[in-house]
Structure 1
Amino acid sequence: MVDLNGYCPSIFLQESLFPTTGGFIEGRYCEDVSAGNETISCCLPCPLANWRYADNIAQRVQVASWISVAILPLCVFILVSYAVLAPKWTNRHYLSICFTLGICCMEIAFIVPLGSKPNQCYNDITPNDMYSDLSCAFSGSLLLFGGWLVVIWSFIRTIAFHVQVCWEVVLGPKFMWGAFVCGFGIPAIGLAIMLKLTGVSYRFGDICHINIDNGLKDYWIPIMSFAATSLVLQVSTMAYCMHIYLRSLFDKSASTTDNSSGLPSYTSSVRTVSARQAWRRLQRVIQLQWRGVALVLIILGNVIFFAVVFIKLDRDVNPTAANIKKAAPWLLCLAAGGSKEKCKSYASGMGPNEATLLAMVYLLSLVGFWNFILFARPLMFAGWLDFFRRGFARRHEFISVDASDRYANKEGFEMLTTTAKTPEPYPTYNMRSPSPAQMAGRSRSPMASPSPTFDRNVHFGQEAQYVPPSTSFSGPRAPGSSHTSRDWDPSSTFAQGRVSR
């Protein structure tokens, strides 16, 4: 068996004894050590998180994966409800649908390692990356793409809420198609650039995360820019709502008491609408979108917390001269043969503590839970109950009389164009109204029993002649009729008489 320690202290491994290809070479945590007249590179064994945190850190991070297993069906339930049920039950909207799709990508990223059971390390000092491990490629790509989707659609939802509340703009098809292009185009472009320039690898746990090199430029800065803009728009919109509400408290205009519908009356235009009427209109918008606003705030809070923790981790773990100097007491303690628990106090300044790291992962996996709580309306469950009831109930459809075999008795209809020799393929029926004389001879009592025999002369007589009244003006009149010969005095009305020339 080859001694991989070489000239390094017992706990460290000599880098020159390992291949220079395969895995994520930049992910090694190594330090140059002088050994006589020679300088060698000594590395901590992989994975690095096991030396910085407790031994069961991987199992504790795996709890987030099981949380996602429980939450993913809830997100799928919402998507299926949007697809199957009518809008009156779900109040579905493309903003909510696309937002839920992004959350599903993140939840699947946590579930992938449970099935693949990946190995975090390519060898004793090198972690795996997306090129050496397929599970890493899938989990890292889905996690980052889902994060992009959630942030971008939060940004679009914030813009939609802002323009409707502050600018009273009605969103139309142009905004919808623009939202689709930006909502899926920007994450796709961002993911492609990120995987090409930076990539993903195992940092802690069985889920791959973005690497340190260029990660700040192609992921954290863009995604934090959208999140910060969304937060500013959301805060400004809520400030405008508070402004309108405070104005409505001190509004004493008469129009607010005269018009209870919340719309401007005929005496005041839309531009001069009172503050209390504006608040009523604003209340209707907030009642429709408060769920989306609450979820956006939750997402933005999680994204900011996630970014701050991960940026601090990248900054402290990056093997720069300053970080090596700061980690020197911890490394010297390990080199002297100290145990991990004994040297743990020297590593307190290297990245976030274990509680913060686990809180970040758990909150990230719980995003789908808040999505279900806010968007799974009680009407949605009533809609499914109605759906299954209608599915098992027998449905009868209205059809015409001559197209159904159930109404084969057509003796109440008169066939006009039928002959014994050449019957028409499509016979024509005509039902005529009985004449007044025939109606007079029939019993008017609703309890009278019908005639046992069918009398065509009683039921279908000659068409009644309509005699218009003498004072009727509903039809044209021939010249010289009695209606046109009547005298009309213009002075008896407000009309002007014709002046003869």
Structure 2
Amino acid sequence: MSLLVSYLVLPVEKTSRHYLTVCFIIAVCILQLGFIIPLGAQPEQCHDAITPNDMSSDLMCAFSGACLLAGGFAAISWGFLRSLSIHLQICWQVVPGRKLFWSSLLAGWGIPILFASIALARTGVSYRFGDTCHINHDKALQDYWGPLLAFAAVSTILQFATLGYCIRVYIRALFKDDGTSQSSSGLPSHNGSVKTVTAGQAYRRVQKAIGVQWRGIVIVVIIIVNVVFLAVVFVSMDNTQQAVLQNYGKATPWLSCLVINGGNKNMCLDKVKGLATPEPEVMAVLILMSLNGIWTLLFLGRASMIPAWIELIRNRFARKHDFVSVDAKGLSAIGRPYEIITSPPPQSADTPKIPRAAVVVTSPSSLDGDTIAALSPQSQQDYFTRDAKYVSPTMSFSTPRPPSSGRYQGREWDPVNTYARPWSPTTGKGGMI
């Protein structure tokens, strides 16, 4: 649920959300509701001394069972669609478009709803063990477990096919170095089709795709393994119960022990071996299914979401200020750091004109005492009226100098040393050779 809230609130560059990821997380959340709702409701499992409650006698059982069936099938179906999308991108270079988007939405939610409705109508759910309602045995294999295992098998085949293609591309890149072939020709290469793609190019493309999709691949494999394990345990439990119903001789020791001990089942637990699925297997299934949400958060969550949430909360609860310009904000923070020195007194006709640049704007805090005293009103008369003597630097070339002060003083121009043609008085021409 936290991932869905992050996808809804945070920007896409922080979450890298995608419709396949969002729908897969929603399916996992629906699956988890089947285990979370009974924890808060604390339903009554038994209808009477020997009959458990089912979907017709307990509304909470019907709701939690529907979430479990629909969420489990939706997780498998969206895992299949994600495996198909990755397979098409990596192996066939097909970019998913709008048609695949609408087809995925229709199949990803329509098929789970269809099979969950069929299972609820034909088979039903009841409190078979624990506080969660599970599907009954009658017609469960053909109505629910069979199609679910079929989708899981196809998803597994696609995953292994994609993995095999990646291994093949990696091996080709190891034994075929396309760098020499590309460097031997100076002409640009146009590799526009799959057949002309070199081993190195295919490896780089696959490496980039795997680097983006590896989290989704891992979480899909984990969910498929958990759901398949759940299906195998439930099918095994149903087959064991059917075998007991067909041969009551296997249950004779258990029934005899109950009669002798007055119905105390705790005294007869050693007689139940072979009549039911061991409790550790069932508890392992429930624990694995309850951990799917944690695995989804670990693999589909991104580290960039944490600073994005911190920044969002900080901006939300930060104190709002009115708009103030940067200069005004600096003046209010420091006080009054700037002081305009009093302009010079009015000038008469006899005094020389003082330029307008003589009005100085400075900061008193950045000046020492001597400077402030020199800029005081008493010293402004001397400062602006005295004659400043200009001393020309030694290496200054800003003023013209007479020819005698040049570096060629006392020398005559020799056309031979300068590689120039001597001036001819008849033609009046000369210049460089």
Q: Same fold (TM over 0.5)?
A: yes
Residue pairs, 1:56-95, within 5 angstroms: 76-95=1-20
| Cα distance in structure 2, aligned partners of 1:319 and 1:253 | 63
1:168 is matched with 93
Matched, 1:309 2:233: yes
Please identify, of 98-107 and 382-391, the stretch whose mean Cα deviation from structure 2 is larger: 382-391
Q: Secondary structure of 1:203's match?
A: coil
Q: Mark the CA change 1:366 to 1:94 in structure 2 (over 3 Å): closer, same or farther.
A: same
Q: Secondary structure at the match of 1:207?
A: coil
- How far the C-alpha of 1:112 sits from its partner, in A, is 1.4
CA distance in 1, matches of 2:191, 2:154: 37
Confirm whether residue 230 of structure 1 aligns to residue 155 of structure 2. yes
Secondary structure at 2:304's aligned position in 1? helix
The structural deviation recorded for 1:320 is 5.4
Q: Is the 8 A contact 1:158 1:233 kept in 2?
A: yes
Counterpart residue type for residue 125 of structure 2: V
Q: 1:256 to 1:375 in 2, by over 3 A?
A: farther
Q: Does 1:266 align with 2:169?
A: no
In structure 2, the CA distance between the partners of 1:368 and 1:448, relative to structure 1 (3 Å rule), is: same
Distance 1:277 1:88 in 2: 27
8 Å CA contact retained: 2:34, 2:64 = yes
Unmatched 5+ stretches in structure 1: 1-75, 398-442, 450-501
Q: Secondary structure at the match of 1:196?
A: helix
Who is 1:217 aligned against? 142
Q: Deviations over 1:173-229 (max 9, x none)?
A: 111111100111111111111111011011001110001111111110010100011
CA distance in 2, matches of 1:275, 1:165: 14
| 1:276 alignment partner in structure 2 | 200
Corresponding residue of 2:275: 350
Q: Which has the higher helix share?
A: 2
Aligned-partner residue type, residue 306 of structure 2? F
Change (3 A) 1:394 1:199: same
Report the counterpart of residue 5 of structure 1 in structure 2. Answer: none
Correspondent of 1:187 among 108, 112, 133: 112
* Residue 265 (structure 1) shift: 4.9
CA distance in 1, matches of 2:244, 2:151: 29
Cα 1:93–1:268 shift into 2, 3 Å? closer
Structure 2 contact 55–125 (Cα < 8 Å) conserved: yes
Tell me which amino acid in the other structure corresponds to 1:377: R
Aligned identity (percent) is 42
Cα deviation per residue 1:101-148 (whole Å; 9 max; x = unaligned)? 111112222121223221111111211111101111111111111111
In structure 1, which of residues 325, 333, 341 is the aligned counterpart of residue 249 of structure 2?
A: 325
Q: Are the structure 2 counterparts of residues 269 and 120 from structure 1 closer, same or farther at C-alpha, using a change threshold of 3 Å? A: closer
| 8 Å CA contact 2:244, 2:250 repeated in 1 | no
How far did 1:343 drift? 2.8
- Which whole-Å CA distance do the structure 2 matches of 1:101 and 1:268 have between them? 41
Q: What is the TM-score normalised by the length of structure 2?
A: 0.70
Q: 1:354 to 1:242 in 2, by over 3 A?
A: same
Give the Cα–Cα distance (whole angstroms) in 2 for the partners of residues 129 and 293 of structure 1.
37
Among 287, 295, 301, the alignment partner of 2:219 is: 295
After superposition, the C-alpha distances for 1:333-357 in whole angstroms (9 at most, x for unaligned) are: 3223375344323211123211111
From the superposition, tell whether residues 129 and 268 of structure 1 become closer, same or farther in structure 2 (CA, over 3 Å).
closer
> Cα distance 1:395–1:99, how it changes in 2: closer, same or farther (>3 A)?
farther
Deviations 1:149-173 (A, max 9, x none): 1111001001001111111100011
Aligned AA for 2:158?
Answer: L
Residue in 2 aligned with 1:334?
A: 258
Is the CA contact 2:244–2:251 (under 8 Å) kept in the aligned structure 1?
no
Q: How does 1:390-409 map to 2 (within 5 A)?
A: 390-391=315-316, 392=318
Rounded Cα–Cα distance in structure 1 between residues aligned with 2:303 and 2:228: 31
The verdict on how the C-alpha distance between 1:284 and 1:124 changes in structure 2, with shifts beyond 3 A counting, is same
State the distance in 2 between where 1:285 and 1:167 align.
12
**Partners of 2:207 and 2:163 in 1: how far apart?**
12
2:102 to 168, 177, 182: 177
- Residues 313, 352 of structure 1: 8 Å contact kept: yes
Which residue matches 2:27?
102
State the number of aligned residues: 323
**Aligned-residue offset at 1:322:** 3.2
Asked whether the 8 Å contact 2:46–2:52 carries over to 1, the reply is yes
Amino acid of the residue matched to residue 239 of structure 2? R
- CA shift, 1:327, in A, is 2.1
8 Å CA contact 2:177, 2:199 repeated in 1 = no
Asked if 1 retains the 8 angstrom alpha-carbon contact of 2:253 and 2:271, the reply is yes
Counterpart of 1:287, as a letter, is G
1:253: Cα distance to partner?
2.6
**Cα distance, 1:268–1:234 mapped onto 2, change above 3 Å:** closer
- Aligned residue number for residue 123 of structure 1: 48
Q: Deviation of residue 393 (structure 1)?
A: 7.0
Instruction: Label 1:393 to 1:267 Cα distance change in 2 as closer, same or farther (>3 A).
Output: farther
Return the letter of the residue paired with 2:230. Answer: F
Larger Rg: 2
Q: State the alpha-carbon separation in 2 of the partners of residues 323 and 275 from structure 1.
A: 62
Measure the CA separation in 1 of the matches of 2:25 and 2:321. Answer: 34
* Contact 1:139 1:207 (8 Å CA) reproduced: yes
**SS, match of residue 126 in structure 2:** strand
Q: Which moved more, 1:99-108 or 1:326-335?
A: 326-335
Q: Specify whether residues 323 and 230 from structure 1 end up closer, same or farther in structure 2 by C-alpha distance, changes over 3 A only.
A: farther
